[in-house]
Chains A and B, each alone.
Chain A
Amino acid sequence: MIEFLVFSLLNSLLYGMLLFMLSSGLTLIFSMMGVLNFAHASFYMLGAYFAYQISVFVGFWPGLIIAPLLIGAIGALVERFGLRTVHKSGHVAELLFTVGLAFLIEEAVILIWGRNAADYRIPELLDSPLFTLWATDFSMYRGFMLLIAVIMFIGLYLVLTRTRIGLIIQAALTHPEGVSALGHNVPGVFMLVFGGGCALAGLAGVIGGNFFITDPGMARMLGPIVFVVVVVGGMGSLTGAFVASLLLGAIQTFAVGLEYSLTDLFMLFGVSLSFQEGILKDLFRIQIAHTGPILPYLFMVFMLIFRPKGLMGTRET
């Protein structure tokens, strides 16, 4: 039991930090521009594929730097020539543009790399256990991912609190019109934040792609989860996004390990129920482990209905 607890905690921390790498950029973009970027997870996928392609030519380590920079540049271009063009047609058009973009990126990935998963591997240097507890290994690559995520977290914190541009971004998070009225180049800041957010998503792809899987479906798998993080965390709050990332990481990781169903719950109170057929039989047979995919959405829908501000949000979505 302690083993399950310790490793689930470590894994949920890892997954949560990876989610934060995606959601931090998304929440910054969402809060400043009011656009929920549906293509954000697509940049995560592009990061993984770029890193894979670079690793084929020159190995893993250069890709760790080059791929996020490339993704950031692409993101900035998308903001400058795509989003800014549709901005005049309103929020719905902006949202739809990112939806179309996500669709196109997925197809372009299939076009270039094919439908099958890419053979993007963990570098050999990190392909050994870091430590062993109760006969379960914790691989060195997991440690490396955690390290990168923590470095990114500290870096983001320092940029946002210690630099001039960071202060402008922070101000634009809560009062975008006010910042614009003070004469700051808000479109330029938008482009920078959009590019930066995409670069972070790309970095998550570089280190996550070889750990999980690099295939054309990876954006569609992760995309909605990142929205859940942003909504649950609350608009305009990076801390909220951080807490929500860890929370969702924990929910999903722990749910996978719990094999209890409604039948077991009733057994606890001494009631033994069994249904021969129909919906009730299905309902009573579902184990918590199987509900992993729907828990985040359930969480998000209830959050939006009962507390639209999110956990730590300052204004309504």
Chain B
Amino acid sequence: MSTMQNTDSSKKWLHVLALWAGAILMIVLLPLLLRSSFMLSMASEMGIMIIFALSYNMLLGQGGMLSFGHAVYFGMGGFIAMHALNFINAGVLFLPLEIVPLIGGLGGLFFGIIFGYVSTRRAGTPFALISLGIGELIAASSLMLPSFFGGEEGISGDRMAEITLTPFGFGQQIEVYYLIAFWMLVSIGLMYLLTQTPLGRMANAVRDNPERTPFVGYNTHIVRTIQLSLAAFFAGIAGGLFAINYEIVTSEIVGAIPSANVLMMTYIGGTGYFFGPILGAILITIMELMLANITHAWVLYYGLMFVAMILWAPGGLAGLIMMHKQLWQGRVLSGVLKAYAVIAGPVIILFLGCMTLIEINYHLSLSIKPEDPLHIFGIEFYAQSIWPWVISIVLSIGGLVLFQRSRRIVSRAWQTAGMQLKQKDSGS
């Protein structure tokens, strides 16, 4: 029995190791595939956002704390790292550039301990509100204290420092990319290991049942404070990398918008699994950089996606993937896939209708010359004529009706698949 468990757990570790080796190989080789500098900047941004979103999930997913002010730690880390960078360049501080993100992390940790201690006495709505209040406080005072936050224009610095540990000079984006990739891997590894420690487990306990946790001898307030401080540490590292990557930090990054962004990113990725926020960060960064070039309306699509996830898929992308993985392992996925093929038509019709409607409206209200023609999938038309309106409204309503009908097919397919899974379980 015990040998079987041993082989099981060693198998699991082999699996994890293989996953890590694959990830590292992919990250190292990725720049060879991404020839354009745009892609490289996107990959750098993605790395920063992955750390930020994972650190947010230490609060929301693992600790059950809904924070509306996580950008405070990201931003403070960024500002402190930027000041450190400027001190290094002025010759006051002797540190290699590679360590600067860690300074940002320590800055985040410092504020995390202070704000964490005062805000985590209770979770739930009080915590959410205190985090919102602290976020607004820092955002408002960032304009009042220009010597630290740099006022309207922010603080800029030069990342090509004298002292480095590596032969890199950090003049090129690819060198910054590898720096970000290094800190990302270290942070992901540490955050994953943290979930396996007693602290990680107690954070889950505090999330699930704060009344009973004291009975096993843990102080919920202290557990939450430590969890938040560590999350703030990793957010600070992300902020430090942000400072190095962009060489400028403005007071906007401590504000409400990045706080809301990391919340939405993490939720869309899925808070229930460790890898969820990684998916969310990758997807949203791609959307932000790609869609923003194509349409004014990308923020609306982003918001619609967030609300759709809350309504229909509270587990996020990771939850969806794991649901299907279970069916796939039980070999009952085909029925569900057939139902998806049926519902795909209505979804596409509905999406096309709504998208055209949104694009026409944005064209009318926001573009410089609404009289100009509009292009969607290579079709040229004018927003002033009535036909695009009629067609898109008909598509939307028709798609919605068909969607509601075929939804039943999907839920029935899920029920059958679940039953089949149960039968197989009891049969084996």
Residues of A participating in the B interface, judged by any CB pair closer than 8 Å: 34, 36, 82, 85-86, 89, 91-93, 95-97, 99-101, 103-104, 107-108, 110-115, 220, 224, 227-228, 231, 277-279, 281-283, 286, 290-291, 293-294, 297-298, 300-301, 304-305, 308, 316-317
Task: Write the nearest CB–CB distance from B204 to chain A, whole angstroms.
Answer: 15
Q: Are A224 and B361 in contact (CB under 8 A)?
A: no
A-B contacts, 29 of them at CB < 8 A, read A86-B314, A92-B64, A92-B66, A93-B314, A95-B66, A95-B128, A96-B267, A97-B310, A97-B311, A99-B260, A99-B263, A103-B303, A103-B306, A104-B303, A107-B303, A111-B365, A115-B366, A220-B256, A281-B147, A282-B148, A286-B144, A291-B144, A294-B141, A297-B134, A300-B130, A300-B133, A301-B130, A301-B137, A308-B126
Residues of B participating in the A interface, judged by any CB pair closer than 8 Å: 60, 64, 66, 118-119, 121-122, 124-126, 128-130, 132-134, 136-137, 140-141, 144-148, 256, 260, 263-264, 267, 297, 299-300, 303-304, 306-307, 310-311, 314, 358, 361-362, 365-366
Residues from chain A with a CB closer than 8 A to the CB of B133 are 224, 228, 297-298, 300-301, 304
Residues from chain A with a CB closer than 8 A to the CB of B118 are 301, 305
Partner of B125, one of A95, A101, A108, A297: A95
Residues from chain A with a CB closer than 8 A to the CB of B365 are 110-114
Residues from chain B with a CB closer than 8 A to the CB of A279 are 145, 147-148
Q: Which residue of A lies closest to B66 (CB)?
A: A92
Residues from chain B with a CB closer than 8 A to the CB of A95 are 66, 125, 128
Interface of B is mostly: helix
Task: Write the nearest CB–CB distance from B180 to chain A, whole angstroms.
Answer: 28
Partner of A304, one of B126, B264, B300, B314: B126
Q: Are B297 and A111 in contact (CB under 8 A)?
A: yes
Q: Are A111 and B361 in contact (CB under 8 A)?
A: yes
Partner of B140, one of A91, A96, A112, A297: A297
In the A-B complex, the 3 residue pairs with the smallest Cβ-Cβ separation, listed nearest first, are A100-B307, A114-B365, A107-B300
Interface of A is mostly: helix
Q: A86-B310, A92-B60 are in contact. List 8 more A-B contacts (CB 8 A).
A: A97-B307, A110-B365, A111-B362, A227-B129, A283-B145, A301-B118, A305-B118, A305-B119
Q: Which residue of B lies closest to A100 (CB)?
A: B307
Q: Are A91 and B303 in contact (CB under 8 A)?
A: no
Residues from chain A with a CB closer than 8 A to the CB of B306 are 96, 100, 103
Task: Write the nearest CB–CB distance from B368 to chain A, whole angstroms.
Answer: 12
Assembly CA distance A277 to B145 (angstroms): 11
Q: Which residue of B lies closest to A107 (CB)?
A: B300
Q: Are A100 and B303 in contact (CB under 8 A)?
A: yes
Q: Which residue of B lies closest to A275 (CB)?
A: B147
Assembly CA distance A25 to B335 (angstroms): 48
Partner of A89, one of B128, B132, B260, B314: B314
Residues from chain A with a CB closer than 8 A to the CB of B303 are 100, 103-104, 107
Q: Are A282 and B144 in contact (CB under 8 A)?
A: yes
Q: Which residue of B lies closest to A92 (CB)?
A: B66
Assembly CA distance A101 to B308 (angstroms): 11
Q: Are A224 and B304 in contact (CB under 8 A)?
A: no
Q: Are B300 and A282 in contact (CB under 8 A)?
A: no
Task: Write the nearest CB–CB distance from A228 to chain B, whole angstroms.
Answer: 8
Assembly CA distance A82 to B311 (angstroms): 8
Residues from chain B with a CB closer than 8 A to the CB of A96 are 66, 263, 267, 306, 310
Assembly CA distance A86 to B300 (angstroms): 21
Assembly CA distance A141 to B404 (angstroms): 49
Q: Which residue of A lies closest to B358 (CB)?
A: A111
Residues from chain A with a CB closer than 8 A to the CB of B148 are 279, 282
Assembly CA distance A25 to B141 (angstroms): 30
Assembly CA distance A103 to B118 (angstroms): 29
Q: Which residue of B lies closest to A220 (CB)?
A: B256
Residues from chain A with a CB closer than 8 A to the CB of B263 are 96, 99
Task: Write the nearest CB–CB distance from A248 to chain B, whole angstroms.
Answer: 13
Residues from chain A with a CB closer than 8 A to the CB of B300 are 104, 107-108, 111
Q: Are B132 and A227 in contact (CB under 8 A)?
A: yes
Q: Are B144 and A290 in contact (CB under 8 A)?
A: yes
Q: Which residue of B lies closest to A293 (CB)?
A: B140
Q: Are B129 and A103 in contact (CB under 8 A)?
A: no
Assembly CA distance A286 to B283 (angstroms): 42
Q: Are B299 and A107 in contact (CB under 8 A)?
A: yes
